[in-house]
């Protein structure tokens, strides 16, 4: 599927969604957290406030540091 088509689908889903939840996998790494921050930024572009759900047990030190840096940018729900 073309990127432009995926962009259209994502935009439509975001506009029509009342609540958006971004869920990280277990033992999240920096790649996954970077994706969460990216999706969060896309949601904000469409004036949506996504809820980020992460298991906060046994996080890598780099992820903990990244969370501290962006904690004002994301709405983190503890799991």
Q: Cα(first)–Cα(last) distance of the chain, in Å? A: 34
Helix, strand, coil percentages for the chain (3-state, nearest 5): 50, 15, 35
Provide the pLDDT for residue 12: 96
Each residue's pLDDT tens digit, 14-56: 999 999 999 988 889 999 999 999 999 999 999 999 999 988 8
pTM: 0.84
């Amino acid at each position: 599927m073309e990127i432009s088509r995926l962009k259209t689908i994502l935009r439509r889903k975001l506009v029509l969604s009342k609540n958006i939840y971004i869920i990280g996998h277990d033992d999240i790494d920096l790649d996954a957290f970077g994706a969460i921050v990216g999706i969060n930024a896309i949601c904000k572009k469409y004036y949506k406030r996504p809820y980020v759900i992460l298991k906060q047990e046994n996080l890598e030190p780099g992820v903990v540091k990244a969370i501290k840096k962006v904690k004002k940018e994301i709405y983190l729900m503890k799991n």
